[in-house]
A and B are shown apart, each in its own frame.
Chain A
Amino acid sequence: RKEVEQDPGPFNVPEGATVAFNCTYSNSASQSFFWYRQDCRKEPKLLMSVYSSGNEDGRFTAQLNRASQYISLLIRDSKLSDSATYLCVVTIGGFKTIFGAGTRLFVKA
């Protein structure tokens, strides 16, 4: 079993739709959680950290469920510019960082 697993997608959604991604992690010692965004042929960029209490940044909401060992990302009112690959990132033991393989999102006009 991979340490961090994501549905690779692709998710094809129309503009304005709400879409959600989940990511599961296997190591209960995982400490920090992030969502990164990677555009085609570009480097990953931090989208948002994920806190235990859940956090929101504009149209994006991230949640963490430690009991079930998953994190989620919800995107409301999807824009064409949201089309990208979304990477789930887990830090274990304070320094070991594992990236998920990513979920591809295509937002269509």
Chain B
Amino acid sequence: GAGVSQSPSNKVTEKGKDVELRCDPISGHTALYWYRQRLGQGLEFLIYFQGNSAPDKSGLPSDRFSAERTGESVSTLTIQRTQQEDSAVYLCASSPRTGSAGYTFGSGTRLTVV
């Protein structure tokens, strides 16, 4: 696609529910990142995918968070048993290589846990 597409753009969920966020990277981009940004805060790295290599999950805050990506296609970030502190904007970015050319971000999913 022309850009990085994320869906849904907004999600309101009840505490304890599971949510799934989707990221469709730019076609041909092998690297894909998920970040979290709380209101007024900086970007927090969550997970990184590079082609078919094992992902770098070092930024996932707890085992309630998981992400999948098949090859160089769509990625999904799943948050189980959501908590209020999970409320944030979840941003996905992709890059044609390992970040050396910069990243293109999607417009994010704004998650609100009530």
Contacts and interface: CB of A to CB of B under 8 A. Distances in A.
Interface stretch (A52-60, A76-84, A90-98): A90-98
B102 A34 contact: yes
A34 B103 CA distance: 10
A43 B110 CA distance: 11
Interface stretch (B12-20, B43-51, B60-68, B73-81): B43-51
B42 interface: yes
B98 to A, nearest CB: 4
A46 B99 contact: no
B42 A96 contact: no
Contacts of A94: 98-100
> Could you say which interface size class chain B belongs to?
20 to 34
B105 A44 contact: yes
Interface in A24-64: 31-32, 34, 42-46, 49
Contacts of A96: 45, 48, 56
Given A44-B105, A49-B102, A91-B99, A97 B33 contact: yes
Nearest to A93: B98
B98 A95 contact: yes
Contacts, number: 49
Among A32, A49, A99, A102, the most chain B Cβ lie within 10 Å of the Cβ of A99
Contact of B31 (A95, A99, A100): A95
A19 interface: no
Contact of A97 (B91, B99, B106): B99
Contact of B45 (A44, A49, A98, A100): A98
B50 A95 contact: yes
Contacts of B35: 99
Nearest to A92: B99
Contacts of A34: 102
Nearest to A48: B102
A95 B48 contact: yes
B107 interface: yes
